[in-house]
């Protein structure tokens, strides 16, 4: 496979992603390119922390997450009178 073939294959995969998965891929890509992806961080977590992260990802993937805008709106309302 040539470099051009690989780039085209990657582009086609990316082009078919839904918005939320595309945003997730963008974050991962930026971290990877900037060298911030350090798997050792994961290894340093306790089993309880790892399970909490995995549970959270599963909740978001199943649609039980709360959108960022909704959380921020609630916080702004709560603390705007302080």
**pLDDT exceeds cutoff 90 at 8:** yes
**pLDDT, tens only, 12-53:** 999 999 998 898 898 888 877 877 556 677 888 899 999 999
- Domain with 45, as residue range(s), is 3-79
Write the DSSP assignment of 25-76 as a string of letters.
Answer: HHHHHHHHHTT---HHHHHHS-HHHHHHHHHHHHHHHTT----HHHHHHHHH
Specify the pTM.
0.43
Q: How many domains is the chain partitioned into structurally?
A: 1
pLDDT of the residue at 82: 60
pLDDT of the residue at 56: 92
pLDDT of the residue at 65: 87
Q: Are 46 and 53 in contact (CB under 8 A)?
A: no
Query: Strand, coil or helix: what is 81?
Result: coil
């Amino acid at each position: 496979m040539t470099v051009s073939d690989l780039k085209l294959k990657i582009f086609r995969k990316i082009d078919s992603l839904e918005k939320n998965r595309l945003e997730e891929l963008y974050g991962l890509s930026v971290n990877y390119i900037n060298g911030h992806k350090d798997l050792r961080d994961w290894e340093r977590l306790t089993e309880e922390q790892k399970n909490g992260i995995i549970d959270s990802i599963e909740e978001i993937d199943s649609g039980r997450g709360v959108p960022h805008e909704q959380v921020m709106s609630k916080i702004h309302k709560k603390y705007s009178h302080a």
